[in-house]
Structure 1
C-alpha cells in the first residue's frame, strides 16, 4: 500500500468505506455484544444495535475521505454526543479512561475478522492495507472516545464538587423568619459564592428577616474570608434581611483587628445561641435565660 503523509490510498479508502456500509448490520450485531455497548444500552439489545449502526455509518464516512486518522473528521460529529453519553455512563459506573479505551480497542478484532473474510486472499497486500486502514480508523475512534471520556470525567468531578460545596454549606431555618448557615472548614472563593447564593435563595424562599452566619467552625479568618463575609452581609441586606455573624473567637477577633478589617457595620455575637436570641428579640419575642440546672425548687 502506498501512503503519503498519513493519507490512505484512494482504492483502499473506497474499499474500506464500502466494506463498512456492506457489513453494517453484521458489525452492529457483533459490536452490540461488546462491553462498551452492552453495559450502556441495557433496555434492549436492539437499542445497542442501533447505536452501533450509527458508529459504523460515521466510520464509513470518515474512511471514504482517505483520512482515517482525522480525529476532527466531520463524519464523527454525528456520534460524538452518543459517545459522550456512553463515556459518561461508564465513568459513573467507576470505569477509568484506560479501561474504556480498552473496550473500544476490543471492537477491532470482530471488524478485522469480517474484513479479512471479504478477500479471496486474506494475506494479500491489498487485504493487509485495508486491515491496516481499519486499525488506524478504529484507533481514531478510540482517541475520540478518550476525549469524550476525559471531558465527561471532568464534568462529573465538577458536578460532584458543586454538590459537596452545597452539602457543606447548608442553610437551616432555625425559627420563623430566621435562617442560619453554620460554616465549617476553610472558605475560598468558590465556596463563598455557594454560601452567598444559597443564603440569598433561602432568604427569598422562606421570607427571612434575619440571617445568621456562624463561623465557629472556620479555623482562620484572613482578609479574603472577611471580604467574602462582608459581601454576603451586603447582599443579604439588599434582599431585606439583617445578617448576623456569630462564632468570632478571641483569636479570630485579634486577627481581624490586626488586619485592620472594619466590621463595625456588621452585627456580631459570640455564638449561634446569642445570635438567635438577638434575632428573636428583634422580632419582639422574649427570650428567657435557661434555669440553672443545679438550682432546687424555691
Structure 2
C-alpha cells in the first residue's frame, strides 16, 4: 500500500507483524497499543478508529493509535510532527492524548492552535513497573470480583473515575457504556477488590495486557479508609495475581502530585521507568 504525506498511512491486518515488532521495542510502555493491535488484528472496524504507521524506506518506524485515545508508539519528534500533520487534516476526534511525555509534547505543540483549549494537561506522570515479588505482604483479602459484586463495584468505579478525571463517566449518557466496560473487566478476571463486612474498601483493574505486560488502572480506596495501608497491601496482592496469571510485568502511570499513591507503589516495589503525559478534552 502506498504511503501518504510524510510517510504516514493507516495500518491494517497485513501490517500486524510489523507493528508488533515495533511495539516490542518497549513492550511495557507500549502495552496499550500492543493490546489493541492483538485484540483487533488492526482491523479498523474492531479498532473503533485507526492505527497510523510512519514508514522510512518501506520500514515501519513509528505508529499512533487514534481512537478515543491518541497514543504515540515509538515516536521520535519527527514522527510525532508527522502524525500531528495528519491529525490536523483529519480534525480532532479524540478525547485524550496520552503516552510518552516527549512524543505527546511535540504532538500537542503542533496541534494546539487548531484543537482548542484542553480541559486539563498533566505533563509529568511517572510510569511505573514491577517484575519481582512485592516488597510488602499482599493483602490476603483481595480477590477477583464477580458479577455479584457489581452493586458495590460499579459505584466505586464511578467515584474513582470522577475523582481522577474530574468528570463522571456517566456524563452525557455514558452510564450504560461505562457499566458494560466494568462488567467486561469482571468477566475477564481483570477486576480485583477487597471487601470488609460486605463493603468495598479497595479496588483496582487491569486495563490491558499482552504476553509481556499488563497495565493497572482504577486503584481506589474510599476516602474515609485512606491512610490505613489498604492501597499498599492491595496493590501487592494485585501485582501477585497479575504476574502469576496474566503477564510477567505489571505497569501503571500516576500523577506526579499524587504523593500518597506514589508512596504506596514505591513500598510495593514499583519503580519509575519512563514519564507519560496526558492531554484531556
TM-score range, shorter chain: under 0.3
Q: Which has the higher helix share?
A: 1
Larger fraction in strand: 2
Query: Normalising by structure 1, what TM-score?
Result: 0.21
TM-score normalised according to structure 2 size:
0.22
Which structure is higher in RCO with an 8 Å CA cutoff and minimum separation 6? 2
Q: Which has the larger radius of gyration?
A: 1
